[in-house]
Structure 1
Amino acid sequence: MVLRFLCVVLSLALLSLGGTIFTDPVQVTKNYDFIVVGGGTAGAVVATRLSESPSVSILVIEAGVADNGTDSNLIYTPLLAGSGIGTILDWNYTTTSQSGLNGRALDFPRGFVVGGSSCINSMIYSRGPSDEYNRLATVSGDSGWSWLSLLPYIYKNEKHTPPWNNRNTFGEYNPLVHGYGPLLTGLTPTVFEHDKLVIKTTVEYPALYPYNLDLNSGNGLGFGWLQTSVGHSVRSTSASTYLRPALNTRGNIDLLLHTQVIKLVETATNTFKAVQVAQNAAAPSYQFTASKEVIVSAGTVGTPQLLMLSGIGPAEQLAEVGIESVIDLPDVGNNLQDQIILTLQWEVNGKTMFPFYNDPAAFAAALAQYDANKTGIAAGNPVVNTIGFMRLPSDSPLLAGGDPAAGPNAAHYQLAFLGTFYPNPGQTSPTTGNWMSIAIVVQSPTSRGSISLTSSNAFVHPSIDPEYFTTAFDIGTAIQAVKTAKAFVATSPWADFIIAPFADTAALTTDAEIEAYIRTYSTTLNHPTSTAKISQNSDEGGVVGPHLLVKGASGLRIVDASILPSMVAGYPQAEVYIIAERAADLIKSTWGLL
């Protein structure tokens, strides 16, 4: 008994020392129980939760940069959300030419930083409908993925916080559906006239546009207030709320930066408990071994690329780039889904953020105020405060071939209300006036594309082909969403507010004109999923089973958005956090750590 007590005391003492952050693989000389590939949204959660068990050691390997470096203001200042795209914080991927977008290739941002895309996204925290999780349970054959079963993990992940100015948010969210977790979320500190009109429209037209008190309650339909991953005036990321606190206080978790895992190494027949790493194509490689598991959390692009580089994937495709097949898994890299975003714009009779964004002095003053005391317009999400999720009519011809949504509680499309002129790529903005925009998103697309290798060199980007708008359902739903957006602001609450539509918006009078606009201007919402999708163990298809273990392999698990069976009807960030929370417990249970 005394010896056992002393062991516990020693373990806790070691934990209190804090972990080590390495910047070169040559510095890593320890042995680890778990290796987590990728310190992004999912990887940071899994690694942090595993580190709660003092008897195990964890190494997180991140290809990108630190989240608290010289560009950290691009991450953590709410006003600058999205500014990290196209910078050192971004993998800077590009899609192939998209036939559904008139041959355009799109930039395809993914986070190249500790915290991953939770550091460069638009900060929206939207769990999606309960149907989404119930579908995950059905597809996997594991009831533990159902909404009700996941509620403890939902509460464990997130905590709602008031805006910096303590604005009264009564009636804008339901405190009962929020938890006590490290990830901080909240509502806008600044309400604009168009936000009030959105809510007024739900009051006057409840049958068409019902109000939803809290879109994170599991009720996936209706219009309400948008919640973002902002708490105490700062963006909340998986790095700031999970990984860095763990590294600061626990000696059993380390982080290796600026280092890419280039191959999963077979340590026994179909067993992958080692990884090969390098810092660039010309640098020496190193190998690290996990005594228990390798957990791949490299994301919807990086995860299938790494699997295929390691001989796990479609055998015929691997042979084309000279890689010998170890495990033939045809679905690796396939089933890629993503969402598009498209905006319509109106000039309005009321104050919006448009003049602010066009005034460099005002913008600089807002950042100076934020730097001084974390207050002001820069301390919250000022652009999108209200949002709506809608379904097609039940008799829509677009549903004749089946409903791609997760269930009757899941949206087909979304309308998001932006308090500025938000131009589509290639569109010219006006220079004066006050403007608002409505963004439309196809929430449950049916188009599926692929990630495929173009080289056996891990430092060569893979081919990314989302195949946007290659189905009648997707383009038809987008057309309906545009019509609904125009009808929404044609209702009586908007009569004195709308001055006129922007010329491009006004020109959309026929389905053909709307379709042409969609194909000309749509771009990615940066929500790729499903390239290593989950299925039941008995299914021939799929990449991982219900516990996220790679089919046909030992010692290898995937935890990120790539395992989702289909595009989510909310925003992937929230669902990935929740999946990672449960995945950590599944891993703990496997190794007797719960």
Structure 2
Amino acid sequence: MPANRCSEEISIKATFRSKRGSMIIPLAEVTNKIYDFIVAGGGTAGCVLASRLSQNPNIKVLLIEAGGSAQGQQNTEVPFLGVTLPGSDLDWKFNSVPQAGLDGRSVPVARGQVLGGTSTINFFTWNRASNALWDKWASLTGDQEWSWKHVEKYYKMTSRLVKPADGHDTTGEIIPSAHGNGPIEVSVPGFPTELDSMVVNTSKSLGGRFAYNQDINAGKTLGFGLMQSSIGHSKRSSSATAYLAPAMNRPNLDVLINTHVTRLVRTSERHISVFRTIEVATSASGQHYQITAAKEIILSAGVIGTPQILLLSGIGPKEDLDKLNIITYVDIPDVGRNLVDHPLVPNYFSVNSDKTFDAVLRDPTIFAGKLQEWASSGQGLFVDSPGNTQGYMRLPKDAAIFERYQDPASSPESAHTEIIFVDGFGQFGEAPAPETGNFMTVLTGVVSPLSRGSVTLTSSDPFDKPAIDLGLLNSEFDIFAMVQAMKDAQSFLTAEPWSGYIKAPFGELADATTDEAKAAYARKFGVTGNHPAGTAAMSPAHAAWGVVDSKLLLKGVEGVRVVDASVFPHTPECHIQAPVYVIAERAADLIKEKYAI
């Protein structure tokens, strides 16, 4: 509906503060414009698209974000403080439905409600997946343009290696030729911890399944090495800072913040339903407005937001929409289905050391000193996220689970499990931090899970949160893999470099001495790795399954494209932010090619 109340028009404004000043866009003014493209969601992918499409001064782009801007909020800039952002005002504050695989517990699901989306609140890890993952996507979609041979150029458009904060020589720690020259800054840790050398030396000495990997982003993810993170010059590098901020003064780019996309509006029906108008509102009780795109609406609202908007628009499984009295315009059964996430379990160990970060978190004076060191010199503990090293592993080839399940990983080059080493007590889930002592946290995860979940509506009100079922540890395979990861972590820690460092497993982990006890521990303390994907998956154009085709166009609809992690047809066996940037870069090219811009 068009804006028609002057007092309300004046009061509803969206502001983005850029380096050069302030851009204020009255919502009523925006509704009177015709844009070529409307990007719904200013997250990881949305900022990329807004930046790339607005490079052509003749193309008018509108970016809409439900949250605000994080500019000037120190916790989003300081890498070590990234752990404070989930559950903050920059987070949607979603919670899962009770998870059967986690003893009926509901767990928080962190998604960024801010420009930059989850790239503004995540824990930085930069993995672009094995080459084989992209070849798997090509096979599943029937489109060889998704193979690594063709996608590599897009990866290199996303990011570039920069020096770590301390400027140390990174020879032997990375393979520079595997990287590109894009906006996102990526670096190895800039404040070494005592764990780093122990992890690297252990992997080099053990070899085999524990082998050292000089660069996890060089095509094969298997092995252990230094973590690469979206950090440059001691600060977070996000899609908002790296892609959007440099584009903010373009006169052909408008940005609305604190504005929710409530639904897509069907504008006509010929041989196919046409959706080129969106409806937006700033609050549940506020006026709803409509804005039209001449060419396309690009949904980049994320793995949860995208299916919610589609369902509210009458696009999804008819049987579900009928229950809420939502008219079904396009019956696509897989909208909101096939959600995949990586379960994560914290394993705690008490250690013989006084160098862990535990004292920093307990003593406000020490904490303030570390923060001041970061602010004044860009050095010290706070220049990195709490974890500096990671490893990816496959299950043993003769694992009994393969007698009952096919290998779910992309290929023999892709992992089943992940291990991350944290130099202190990292509070994941409900385990309280001890008041004394020094600790190490070893995070074990399953990155090729067979469990599946869903995103479904709880009502027809766009401001009501959807039901999120992550499906964590619902599969026997996932439990087997998690237990194996926990055993592998403990085997890794018995190697000579750890001699005298580990005191003992801490808390209930000490009693988890059998496979059954480890499984019970995982169900009690497991959380989400916050890597959800797949709720609007790609598939061949004429396939009965899936939601979008290989060009990311919504099936059965004209005028809508989806670009975010919801389109993943197979979950990456790694942290997923880098693959999201890759699909966004490729989507920008697909759009430019289609419209000759």
TM-score class, shorter: over 0.9
**1:240 partner SS:** helix
How far the C-alpha of 1:19 sits from its partner, in A, is 11
Alpha-carbon deviation of 1:23?
Answer: 5.5
What TM-score, normalized to structure 1?
0.94
Q: Does 1:78 align with 2:79?
A: yes
**Conservation of the 8 A alpha-carbon contact between 1:166 and 1:189:** yes
From the superposition, tell whether residues 490 and 182 of structure 1 become closer, same or farther in structure 2 (CA, over 3 Å). Answer: same
Match of 2:56 among 43, 53, 56: 53
Structure 1 distance, partners of 2:261, 2:416, is 37
- Residue 359 of structure 1: how far off its partner (Å): 2.0
Contact persistence 1:20–1:253 (CA under 8 A):
no
For 2:127, the equivalent position in structure 1 comes to: 126
How far, CA to CA, are the matches of 2:174 and 2:358 in structure 1? 27
If the length of structure 2 is used for normalisation, what is the TM-score?
A: 0.94
Aligned to 2:281: 278
Partner of 1:379: 383
Letter in 2 for 1:38: G
Q: Which residue of 1 aligns with 2:27?
A: 25
How many residues are treated as equivalent by the alignment? 573
Give the aligned partner of residue 62 of structure 1: 65
**Are the aligned partners of 1:19 and 1:252 in contact in 2 as well (CA < 8 Å)?**
no
Q: Secondary structure of the residue that 2:208 maps to in structure 1? A: coil
Residues 103-502 of structure 1: pairs in structure 2 closer than 5 A: 103-248=104-249, 250-269=250-269, 270-350=273-353, 351-381=355-385, 383-400=386-403, 401-502=405-506
Alpha carbons 1:412, 1:444 under 8 Å: kept: yes
Alpha carbons 2:421, 2:443 under 8 Å: kept: yes
In the alignment, structure 1 residue 556 sits paired with structure 2 residue 560: yes
The alignment partner of 1:32 has SS state of strand
Which amino acid counterpart does residue 136 of structure 1 have in structure 2?
Answer: W
Quick check: 1:35–1:290 contact (8 Å CA) kept in 2? yes
- Tell me the distance in 2 between the aligned counterparts of 1:352 and 1:516: 28
State the alpha-carbon separation in 2 of the partners of residues 523 and 298 from structure 1: 23
- CA RMSD in angstroms comes to 1.5
Gaps of 5+ in 1: 1-16
Q: What is the DSSP-based 3-state SS (H/G/I as helix, E as strand, rest coil) of the residue aligned with 1:176?
A: helix
State the alpha-carbon separation in 2 of the partners of residues 202 and 486 from structure 1: 13
Contact in 2 for aligned 1:45/1:580 (Cα 8 Å):
yes
Moved more, 76-85 or 171-180: 76-85
Query: What CA distance in whole angstroms lies between the structure 1 residues aligned with 2:191 and 2:101?
Result: 38
Query: How many Å apart are 1:125 and its aligned residue?
Result: 0.7
Q: Aligned pair in 2 of structure 1 residues 21, 39: CA closer, same or farther (>3 Å)?
A: farther
Corresponding residue number in structure 2 for 1:10: none
Q: Deviations over 1:115-173 (max 9, x none)?
A: 00001100111111111111111111111111121111111110111122212222111
One-letter code aligned to 1:385: N
The CA distance in 2 between the partners of 1:19 and 1:127, in whole Å, is 35
Secondary structure of 1:198's counterpart equals: helix
Q: Distance in 2 between matches of 1:38 and 1:239?
A: 12
Instruction: State the identity as a percent.
Output: 41
CA deviations 1:378-406 (Å, max 9, x no partner) are: 2233x211111000122212223211111
Write out per-residue CA displacement over residues 308-350 of structure 1, whole angstroms, 9 at most, x where no aligned residue: 0000000010010110100000000000111121111222223
**CA drift at 1:20:** 8.1
How far off its partner does 1:24 sit?
Answer: 4.5
- CA distance in structure 1 between the aligned counterparts of 2:265 and 2:301, rounded to whole angstroms: 16
The C-alpha deviation readout for 1:278-320, integer Å capped at 9, x for no partner, is: 1111100111100000000000000000000000000010010
CA–CA separation in structure 1 for the residues paired with 2:406 and 2:24: 51
Q: Retained in 2: the 8 A contact 1:21–1:256?
A: no
Q: Do the aligned residues in 2 keep the contact of 1:20 with 1:247 (CA within 8 Å)?
A: no
Give, in whole Å, the separation in 2 of the partners of 1:98 and 1:159: 39
Structure 1 counterpart SS, 2:160 = strand
- Secondary structure of 1:42's aligned partner: helix
Residue of structure 2 equivalent to 1:35: 38
Of the structure 1 ranges 387-396 and 307-316, higher mean CA displacement relative to structure 2 is found in 387-396
Q: Could you tell me how far apart the structure 2 residues matched to 1:454 and 1:500 are? A: 45
